[in-house]
Amino acid sequence: MIKNSDILTIIKNINFLFDANYTNKGFLTGSYHDAVSFFTTQACWYYAYILKNIFPDGDIYLGDFSVGHVIFNLNDKYYDVRGEYYFYSKDKFYCDKEVIGSPEYDHSFRKETMNICDLIIKDINIKFQTTNLEKNNSFK
């Protein structure tokens, strides 16, 4: 399991992975996006979804109409694609408790984006679980 304290490292790795492997791979036809430009243009929910799958103890927070942004909460700190998100306001965001597996979040119309998210989640989990296992074995 990935430790909660590693979230900023995970965010850097997600962004690197997206930039290196998934930019302009067909789902962003005719345009170039890096992780920040993609996940801040109507795709911020997907970034929070990735973080929720890597850190299941956290929660996705939806911004109201005036904010128009989705962020991720873990241990009373808030994050998005840029790292720690300092603009959280309890009056402008609300916790989304029906994210993973909920019929409301059937994103079949964005199937390619969901596939990319699932690949990133898998790659990050493999990389960091392997790293943690290697560290644990080095003490034996």
**Can you tell me the distance from the alpha carbon of 106 to that of 104, in angstroms, rounded to the nearest whole number?**
6
Across the chain, what does the average pLDDT equal? 79
The number of beta carbons lying within 10 Å of the beta carbon of residue 27 is 15
The band of 108, judged by pLDDT with boundaries at 50, 70 and 90, is low
Strand residues in 1-140 grouped as ranges (E): 59-63, 70-74, 77-80, 83-84, 93-96
Predicted pLDDT of residue 54:
93
User: Span 7-24, mean pLDDT?
Assistant: 87
Specify the pTM. 0.80
Within 13 Å of residue 43, how many CA atoms lie on the same side as its CB?
Answer: 21
Predicted pLDDT of residue 90:
87
Q: Which of 5-9, 29-33, 34-38, 60-64 has the lowest mean pLDDT?
A: 29-33
User: What stretch of H or E contains 121?
Assistant: helix 111-138
Is the model's pLDDT at 30 over the cut of 70? Answer: no
Is the model's pLDDT at 8 over the cut of 90? Answer: yes
Residue-range domain boundaries for the chain: 4-127
The sign of the dihedral angle between the CA atoms of 115, 1, 11, 127 is negative
